[in-house]
Amino acid sequence: MFIEQSVSAYCTSSRSLQQHLFFLLHNRCKTIRQLSQIHAHIITNGFAEKSFILVKLLSLYTAFNNFPRAHQVFDQVPYPSAALWNQIIRGWSIGGNPCNSVELFNSMCRSLVLPDGHTYTFVINGCAKGGLLGEGEQVHGKVLKSGFRSNVYVGTSLIDFYVKSGGDDGVGKAKRVFDEMGERNVVTWNSLLLGCFQCGDVDGARRVFEEIPGRNVVSWTTMIAGCAQNGRCKEALALFSEMQLENMEFDQVTLVAVLSACAELGDLNLGTWIHSYVVESFTYRKQPLLISLKNALIHMYASCGEIDAAFGIFKGMDQRTTVSWTSMITGFAKHGYGDEALSVFQWMESIEDNNVRPDEITFLGVLCACSHSGYVNEGRHYFRSMIETWGIEPRIEHFGCMVDLLSRAGLLDEAHDLVKSMPMKPNDAVWGAILGGCRIYKSVKLASDVADWLTEELDPHRTAGYFVLLSNVYAAAKKWQDVVAIRQKMLDIKARKPPGRSWIQIEGNIFEFLAGDRSHESVSLIYNVLDEITREARFQGYNAYSADAFTYVED
C-alpha cells in the first residue's frame, strides 16, 4: 500500500515518476514484495528499457536471491549494456552459483559488448569463491589479451583468486601478478600478505607488511592473526602494542586475533584489559558484539584458568554458535570439570536449532572430559553417538581419546582391541596413551609389543618421549636390564626427548621456561622455591612416582 500511495503522489510527469521509482529502489525497497510492486510500475509506465533503472532492479533481485526474476528482467532486454551484463554476472558471483557467472561472462564475450574492468573483477571473484581454478586462469588469459592487466582492481582480484586457490604454486602466481602491476592499493598488498600466511611464510609476510604504504586496520589484523595462527603469539602481541602506539584504530576482528594469542600465552592481564575495553567501547554504546569476539573471550578465560569468567560470558550470550558451545565444553574438560562439560553438552543437544550441531571438535572436548574424569561408560556412549546420532566419522584424535580413557581405567585389552579395529593407522599419540596405561598398571608385555611398533614405524626424533614411558614401565616392574636396554636404544638411534616448556605471567611480563634450562638470571631462587613446593607437597601427602625420576637424564 505504501508503494502504491508513494507512486500516485508522483504522477505529475514522466520524468519525476521515473526519478521517484529509482529513489524507491535505491532507498525504500526492503522486501521482495515491495520490489515486485515497484517492478510492476516500471513496466506499466514504460520504463523497462531504462538502463540505470534496470541495473538497480537486477542488483536487488540478486540481493534477495531471486535469480529467476533477475533473469526474466535481463533476458527481456534485446541488447543489454555492459552495466547490465556486469550486474547479472556480479549477482551470480556473490550470491548464487559462481559457475553461472563464468557462463554469463563467456556469453558476454560472444556478444558485441566488450567486458570492462568491472566485468573481469566480478567474474574473477566468482572463480575465487567457487574454487574454479581452470576457469579463473582462462579469464586471466583474456585479461592479458584485453589490456586490463594494469587495472588495479582486476589485478587485486587476480591476486586474491590465486591466493585462495591454495598452495605454494598459487601464492607464487599471485606474487607474479603483484610484481607485474604498475599500480597497487592497500587491498592489493593485504591480499598478498594473506597469501604469504596461507603458505606458511611468516617471515615473507612480515617483509610484505613492512613495505605496505598506508597500512589499514585489515593490514594490522591480518598480520596479528597470521602470527597467532602460526605459533608466533609473542610477535602478535608485540604487533598489537605497536598498532596502539601508532594510534591505529582497531576493530572487533582485531581483538579476536589478539585474544587468540592471549589464550595461547596465558596473558590474562591483556585479555582482561580487552574485555574491559569491549564493555566500555562497544557494549556501553550498545554496539552489537560479534559472536566470534564473545567466543574468543570464552576461549581466552578458559585457557587462562578463569573458568567461571568464561562461563559467565557464555551464559550471557543471546545467541550461540557451535564454536561457543565447543569452547565452553573444552574449557571445562581441560580443567577437570567433567560433570560440567557433559552438562553443557547435554544442554547443547537439547537446543532445537539446526544451525547448532556438535562437530568433530565438540566431541573431542566431550571425550576429553570423560577421559579426565574416568567416565568409561559415558565415553563409550558418546563415541558411539558420534556416528549413530550425529553422522560424524571419528578421526584419529577421537580414537586417541578413547584409548586414553580405557588405558587410564586399566582396560588395556579393550584399548588394544580398539587400536587394532581403527580404520586408519594408529599414530604415536595413540600408542603413547596405551603406554601411559601400561606404566600405571605395570603391563610389561603389552608395553613391549608397543615398543616394537614404535621402533619400526616412527621417526626417532618423535619417539623419545614414548621410550621414556616404556623405561618407566620396566622400572616399575624392576626390570633394570630392560631399562638399560631402552636407554641404549635411545642413544643408538639418537632419539632425544624434547624439553618441556611452560609460561608464567608476572606483573604483566611473560616468562618462558624449558625443562633443565638454567639460563635465567634468578635460576637459584627458582629452584629453591621449587624444592620448597615439592617438600610442602610431600608433607601434604603427595607421593611422586619415584621410578620416573630414574629413567631419563639429558645428555
- Please state, in angstroms and rounded to a whole number, the distance separating the CA atoms of residues 131 and 309: 41
In the prediction, which pLDDT does 550 show? 43
- Please state, in angstroms and rounded to a whole number, the distance separating the CA atoms of residues 361 and 240: 29
304, burial (CB in 10 Å: exposed 0-12, middle 13-18, buried 19+) = buried
The string over 378-396, giving b where at least 16 C-beta atoms fall within 10 Å of a residue's C-beta and e elsewhere, is: bbeebbeebeeeeebebee
- Please state, in angstroms and rounded to a whole number, the distance separating the CA atoms of residues 186 and 190: 6
In the prediction, which pLDDT does 464 show? 65
DSSP character string of 13-75: -HHHHHHHHHHIIIII--SHHHHHHHHHHHHHTT-TT-HHHHHHHHHHHHHTT-HHHHHHHHH
DSSP character string of 421-466: H-SS---HHHHHHHHHHHHHHT-HHHHHHHHHHHHHHS-HHHHHHH
pTM of the shown model: 0.79
In the prediction, which pLDDT does 53 show? 79
Q: CA 42 → CA 21, 46, 76, distances in Å?
A: 7, 6, 14
- Please state, in angstroms and rounded to a whole number, the distance separating the CA atoms of residues 440 and 477: 11
Beta-carbon contacts of 128 under 8 Å, excluding residues fewer than 6 positions away, are 136, 157, 160, 161, 164, 165
Bridging pattern class, strands 509-514 and 501-506: antiparallel
Residue 106 pairs in a beta bridge with none
Task: Specify whether the CB–CB gap between 371 and 411 falls below 8 A.
Answer: no
In the prediction, which pLDDT does 48 show? 62
DSSP character string of 124-150: HHHHHHHT-HHHHHHHHHHHHHHT-TT
The string over 209-236, giving b where at least 16 C-beta atoms fall within 10 Å of a residue's C-beta and e elsewhere, is: beebeebeebbbbbbbbbbbbeebbbbb
Beta-carbon contacts of 473 under 8 Å, excluding residues fewer than 6 positions away, are 435, 438, 439, 442, 443, 444, 447
Task: Tell how far CA 267 is from the center of its chain.
Answer: 20
- Please state, in angstroms and rounded to a whole number, the distance separating the CA atoms of residues 271 and 225: 15
Residue 506 pairs in a beta bridge with 509
Own/partner contacts of 47-51, CB < 8 Å, gap of 24 or more, are 47/18, 47/21, 48/76, 49/77, 50/18, 51/81, 51/83, 51/84
In the prediction, which pLDDT does 551 show? 41
Task: Specify whether the CB–CB gap between 403 and 369 falls below 8 A.
Answer: no
Rounded to 5 degrees, what are φ and ψ at 503? -130, 150
Task: Specify whether the CB–CB gap between 547 and 472 falls below 8 A.
Answer: yes
Beta-carbon contacts of 461 under 8 Å, excluding residues fewer than 6 positions away, are 495, 496
Rg (C-alpha) for the chain, rounded Å, is: 31
Q: Per-10-residue mean pLDDT for the chain, 555 residues long?
A: 52 67 75 81 71 81 87 86 92 88 93 93 93 93 90 94 83 91 92 90 94 94 96 94 93 96 93 94 81 96 95 95 96 94 94 87 96 93 94 94 93 92 86 83 80 62 66 77 75 63 64 71 82 82 52 40
505, burial (CB in 10 Å: exposed 0-12, middle 13-18, buried 19+) = middle
